[in-house]
Chains A and B, each alone.
Chain A
């Protein structure tokens, strides 16, 4: 008998009520975890617990996987044609739109991002992503290859089967939609683990998925910890593929578990330390605005954050002055205040981690040009921070901080900055600012990153692929490319006349 979370929002940005079942969602039903334990959900703006949700164990993973397989064999997979899958995904998008404000409010409550960002970006993009993949569902094409007239040779792009999906806490609903969209569009069944830090919108989505009419077992949600549920999923012998977004550290464990179990297919979206290169001939005012968006968007909790800002010496002073002013103007405040730009970091653990990095910057001799401290006394708020006078070997320059901490680095030489930009194990994204298009494009082409932004940063679209080079990941999400993650290619070669 799972419980219900009821909450009344009475805030400047949003007034409304929410009430939903907080159990695990398995085989079309809300249930308690096998051990009947719960996980506390904390509001990072206050540090206080808002509710408890059911906790899944490895045993629940088995139950969900069995339900998913059953659905795959009977009501989903290729038993439900593309037009049918398209219709259900379209219905889900419609329901999300009807409940958009509620979802945005839950996201802000659980994650700490502002209600405004959650409305304008997270939920809007999530709905668009579901709609985008609804449109793909009846367009999964294979090929026919010409061999000779006595042979019919073709490929089927079949759903893989039961896929495990593990999503992070930085964009909970958006990451859920990036995973759910292509997997369901292609006919797979899902066992999903949301982050234990931010399960609320994922749980709320289960009721919408149910209402949309997805057959029981096609989508299953198990809130739980990485070392229990996450490990069980990545090591499961009956899960055919795992998709993970999170830290590189955990990504390695997932890949290892996949290798050691059944060699399941993997896609990984991991960390980054993305460079943002601003040349002398950039539009400085624009570069300032984009650079701020590049590092402070989502409180710096973005895998593709442009966290190393390289500024060519000719404009360095001008840029730094303007960038500092811009950063100072970003209002840190309650997620439900209408003029807040930045809310708290997602958790105490993250808060401590970021503050440790800031301390390391100070210890290693970098200059705190702005910020570098807590904001307020309640909740996990950190002031937007700028470090200067760094050296390449410093931790704050090498490692992913995942907070509102930007490092501004002066450079002279074009060749050298490209070398520095690429001198990282990561390769998720990069940005180049220059008004000389030849220079901009050639630089973009040389940067070892899955996304190279030119005169913009952190712009994403549902139809443009996104993913990492090097240790930032394997595979691509979004666009048509994401479909490849969830289809298995079968070649069918039919002999219709050759005699052996």
Chain B
């Protein structure tokens, strides 16, 4: 089965067409050996909105072969940086042209508000592609002085090759852009496995890849179950690099499979349990606003969600008041409703997971100061929930919940705060709120996180690197740093004058 489906958008009285085949070599094709399909749901209505082909491991083989051929013939060293730049800019233009429809499709499948999808997710994605398009003709190596009379030594920053990319469901389009952009910029080819929960926008974007003029095989899209397609990519002997964003548990499997197969390069963007520290000198109103953003944005389904907050004793009561009244303003609802600030959770499985944690929090003795009540409606809607009186042994404090559930603790001294913040195997993000500059300097230096926000939270820029310390990941995305993840350095020693005498004389 490989065809086009028309997905109705009831509130807007329109349909969006999506090709449902696997996208390989610039064509939508059926699976070579499987009749399995993946059902895509609308998390606001719990309805199936489309079914797409589920790729098998043989389909991954086909896609990898296509990517390899393209890398050897039309991409890799066969395409100039200027041409890569041109094509990427063209793709960005096309996404901008179609951003409204892409946003609606994203909302149907993911639940986030349409305006957020369009202006933030897609807006940032367009910028990301343009940013990396600008890098494509600026990949430079070095020349290195060794011996002027006899040696020309230099480095080539070559594309790694065929890259498997596995992206999550929380920011489908944005995560797609973060992955494809740096890989394309340096000349790699891609086999992309979008999340089996949210494959639709990746398939739609594949149509634009063709329209932009990329040669066949440069980008391939294979929706598949993680345990099938994802595993196949991680273990594939002809994939040179795997990049994954998702849970830490899956990240381990990817790294293991990479080690056991061909020692392919691995970059991982995993989970987090990111803390924010509210010091007594902080602007409490602002800190509360940033804290609300930190846990409510994307309905808490964010790897850097600020899911733990520690407040200095002297301002604790005041801050809790301000925070609760701020978070209370958050409207969780249908993504097609203009009043909605955050959509439903992505799926039944996630919904049950988050409720499991809320129930555990209550059971372990934490105090609910906001939320914690189930709705009795259709859709995986969970309202922001705040726990206080927590301690480090509680599940809600230790484990990543991936929903709008916040745990708040307290501290007396700066040392205590830092210790509490760093008491986790994760290390993705962290925030601190203080107007004491020396404190900001000290604490930002001590926090064990790949991104530290000072007096804000969760704001990213395409040109600033992002990634995790500890078990939150390996490697960096965004900024110039992402280019290194897709580049393989070759040193060339070119003898221009040395004559060797063998055996050597000493």
Chain B contacts with A in 454-496, Cβ cutoff 8 A = 462-463, 480, 494-496
Once the chains are docked, how many angstroms separate the CA of A86 from the CA of B462?
13
Collect the chain A residues with CB atoms within 8 Å of residue B134's CB: 86, 134-139
Q: Please determine whether B441 and A496 come into contact, CB atoms closer than 8 angstroms.
A: yes
Closest residue of chain A to B444 (Cβ to Cβ) is A152
Once the chains are docked, how many angstroms separate the CA of A445 from the CA of B153?
13
Once the chains are docked, how many angstroms separate the CA of A405 from the CA of B149?
35
Q: Please determine whether B438 and A138 come into contact, CB atoms closer than 8 angstroms.
A: no
For residue A212, CB closer than 8 A to chain B, the reply is: no
For residue A12, CB closer than 8 A to chain B, the reply is: no
Q: Please determine whether A131 and B140 come into contact, CB atoms closer than 8 angstroms.
A: no
For residue B152, CB closer than 8 A to chain A, the reply is: yes
For residue B497, CB closer than 8 A to chain A, the reply is: yes
A457-500: CB near B (< 8 Å → 1, else 0) gives 00000110000000000000000100000000000001011000
For residue B137, CB closer than 8 A to chain A, the reply is: yes
Q: Please determine whether B85 and A135 come into contact, CB atoms closer than 8 angstroms.
A: yes
A137-159: CB near B (< 8 Å → 1, else 0) gives 11101000000011010000000
CB distance from B124 to the nearest CB of A (A): 11
- Selected contact of A90 from candidates B89, B140, B441, B497, CB within 8 Å: B89
Count how many chain A residues have C-beta atoms less than 8 Å from C-beta atoms of the other chain. 29
For residue B142, CB closer than 8 A to chain A, the reply is: no
B119-163: CB near A (< 8 Å → 1, else 0) gives 000000001001101111110100000001100100000000000
Are A139 and B445 also in contact (CB < 8 A) when A131-B85, A441-B152 are? no
- Selected contact of B137 from candidates A86, A442, A462, A496, CB within 8 Å: A462
Q: Please determine whether A135 and B138 come into contact, CB atoms closer than 8 angstroms.
A: yes
Are A139 and B463 also in contact (CB < 8 A) when A83-B127, A442-B496, A442-B497 are? yes
Most chain B CB within 10 A, of A90, A135, A141, A437, is at: A135
Are A480 and B138 also in contact (CB < 8 A) when A83-B127, A90-B89, A497-B438 are? yes
Q: Please determine whether A496 and B463 come into contact, CB atoms closer than 8 angstroms.
A: no
B contact residues, range: 20 to 34
Most chain B CB within 10 A, of A83, A87, A149, is at: A83
- Selected contact of B441 from candidates A128, A134, A150, CB within 8 Å: A150
Chain B contacts with A in 51-78, Cβ cutoff 8 A = none
Once the chains are docked, how many angstroms separate the CA of A169 from the CA of B386?
70
Once the chains are docked, how many angstroms separate the CA of A161 from the CA of B404?
47
Collect the chain A residues with CB atoms within 8 Å of residue B133's CB: 135
For residue B437, CB closer than 8 A to chain A, the reply is: yes
Collect the chain B residues with CB atoms within 8 Å of residue A437's CB: 496
Collect the chain B residues with CB atoms within 8 Å of residue A131's CB: 85
Chain A contacts with B in 24-59, Cβ cutoff 8 A = none
CB distance from B436 to the nearest CB of A (A): 10
Q: Please determine whether B442 and A136 come into contact, CB atoms closer than 8 angstroms.
A: no
For residue A329, CB closer than 8 A to chain B, the reply is: no
Once the chains are docked, how many angstroms separate the CA of A438 from the CA of B496?
5
- Selected contact of B480 from candidates A137, A141, A445, CB within 8 Å: A141
Closest residue of chain B to A82 (Cβ to Cβ) is B463
Once the chains are docked, how many angstroms separate the CA of A364 from the CA of B445?
74
Once the chains are docked, how many angstroms separate the CA of A61 from the CA of B266?
57
Closest residue of chain A to B131 (Cβ to Cβ) is A138
The secondary-structure label for the interface of chain A is helix
For residue B355, CB closer than 8 A to chain A, the reply is: no
Q: Please determine whether B442 and A497 come into contact, CB atoms closer than 8 angstroms.
A: yes
For residue A381, CB closer than 8 A to chain B, the reply is: no
For residue A72, CB closer than 8 A to chain B, the reply is: no
Collect the chain A residues with CB atoms within 8 Å of residue B463's CB: 82, 138-139
Chain A contacts with B in 301-353, Cβ cutoff 8 A = none
Collect the chain A residues with CB atoms within 8 Å of residue B127's CB: 83
Q: Please determine whether A496 and B437 come into contact, CB atoms closer than 8 angstroms.
A: yes
Collect the chain B residues with CB atoms within 8 Å of residue A82's CB: 463
Collect the chain A residues with CB atoms within 8 Å of residue B138's CB: 132, 135-136, 139, 463, 480
For residue B82, CB closer than 8 A to chain A, the reply is: yes
CB distance from A18 to the nearest CB of B (A): 27
Q: Please determine whether B441 and A497 come into contact, CB atoms closer than 8 angstroms.
A: yes
Collect the chain B residues with CB atoms within 8 Å of residue A496's CB: 437-438, 440-442
Are A441 and B496 also in contact (CB < 8 A) when A82-B463, A90-B89, A134-B134 are? yes
Collect the chain B residues with CB atoms within 8 Å of residue A86's CB: 130, 134
CB distance from B438 to the nearest CB of A (A): 5
Collect the chain B residues with CB atoms within 8 Å of residue A138's CB: 131, 134, 462-463
Collect the chain A residues with CB atoms within 8 Å of residue B89's CB: 90
Collect the chain B residues with CB atoms within 8 Å of residue A135's CB: 85, 133-138
Q: Please determine whether B497 and A438 come into contact, CB atoms closer than 8 angstroms.
A: yes
Q: Please determine whether A463 and B137 come into contact, CB atoms closer than 8 angstroms.
A: yes
Chain B contacts with A in 91-141, Cβ cutoff 8 A = 127, 130-131, 133-138, 140
CB distance from B54 to the nearest CB of A (A): 39
Collect the chain B residues with CB atoms within 8 Å of residue A152's CB: 441
Collect the chain B residues with CB atoms within 8 Å of residue A83's CB: 127, 131, 462
CB distance from A17 to the nearest CB of B (A): 28
Chain B contacts with A in 491-506, Cβ cutoff 8 A = 494-497
CB distance from A60 to the nearest CB of B (A): 35
CB distance from A120 to the nearest CB of B (A): 15
Chain A contacts with B in 413-453, Cβ cutoff 8 A = 437-438, 441-442, 445
Q: Please determine whether A149 and B445 come into contact, CB atoms closer than 8 angstroms.
A: yes
Are A480 and B496 also in contact (CB < 8 A) when A135-B133, A138-B463, A445-B148 are? no
B431-451: CB near A (< 8 Å → 1, else 0) gives 000000110111001000000
Collect the chain A residues with CB atoms within 8 Å of residue B130's CB: 86-87, 90
B267-281: CB near A (< 8 Å → 1, else 0) gives 000000000000000
Once the chains are docked, how many angstroms separate the CA of A463 from the CA of B131?
17
CB distance from A424 to the nearest CB of B (A): 22
Collect the chain B residues with CB atoms within 8 Å of residue A497's CB: 438, 441-442
CB distance from A317 to the nearest CB of B (A): 30
Collect the chain B residues with CB atoms within 8 Å of residue A480's CB: 138, 140
Once the chains are docked, how many angstroms separate the CA of A462 from the CA of B81?
11
Collect the chain A residues with CB atoms within 8 Å of residue B437's CB: 494, 496
Collect the chain B residues with CB atoms within 8 Å of residue A150's CB: 438, 441
Q: Please determine whether A139 and B480 come into contact, CB atoms closer than 8 angstroms.
A: yes
Collect the chain B residues with CB atoms within 8 Å of residue A149's CB: 441-442, 445
Once the chains are docked, how many angstroms separate the CA of A379 from the CA of B462?
54
Once the chains are docked, how many angstroms separate the CA of A389 from the CA of B32?
74
Once the chains are docked, how many angstroms separate the CA of A335 from the CA of B497?
48
Once the chains are docked, how many angstroms separate the CA of A438 from the CA of B438?
57
CB distance from B399 to the nearest CB of A (A): 32
CB distance from B422 to the nearest CB of A (A): 16
Once the chains are docked, how many angstroms separate the CA of A3 from the CA of B426?
68
Once the chains are docked, how many angstroms separate the CA of A497 from the CA of B436?
11
Closest residue of chain A to B81 (Cβ to Cβ) is A463
Once the chains are docked, how many angstroms separate the CA of A83 from the CA of B126?
12
Once the chains are docked, how many angstroms separate the CA of A462 from the CA of B82?
10
Once the chains are docked, how many angstroms separate the CA of A497 from the CA of B130?
40
CB distance from B90 to the nearest CB of A (A): 11
CB distance from B482 to the nearest CB of A (A): 12
Once the chains are docked, how many angstroms separate the CA of A131 from the CA of B148?
35
CB distance from B151 to the nearest CB of A (A): 10
Once the chains are docked, how many angstroms separate the CA of A149 from the CA of B130?
36
Once the chains are docked, how many angstroms separate the CA of A83 from the CA of B132?
12
Closest residue of chain A to B127 (Cβ to Cβ) is A83
Most chain A CB within 10 A, of B130, B135, B149, B442, is at: B130
List, sorted by A's number, 7 A–B pairs whose CB atoms are closer than 8 Å.
Answer: A83-B127, A83-B462, A438-B496, A441-B496, A480-B138, A494-B437, A497-B442
Known: A139-B134, A442-B149, A445-B148. 19 other contacts (CB 8 A): A83-B131, A83-B462, A86-B130, A87-B130, A132-B138, A135-B137, A138-B134, A138-B462, A139-B131, A139-B135, A141-B480, A150-B441, A441-B496, A442-B496, A442-B497, A463-B81, A494-B441, A496-B442, A497-B442
Binding site for A on B (CB under 8 A): 81-82, 85, 89, 127, 130-131, 133-138, 140, 148-149, 152, 437-438, 440-442, 445, 462-463, 480, 494-497
**Closest 10 pairs (CB-CB, A-B):** A135-B134, A496-B441, A496-B438, A438-B496, A441-B496, A497-B438, A138-B463, A149-B445, A463-B137, A496-B437
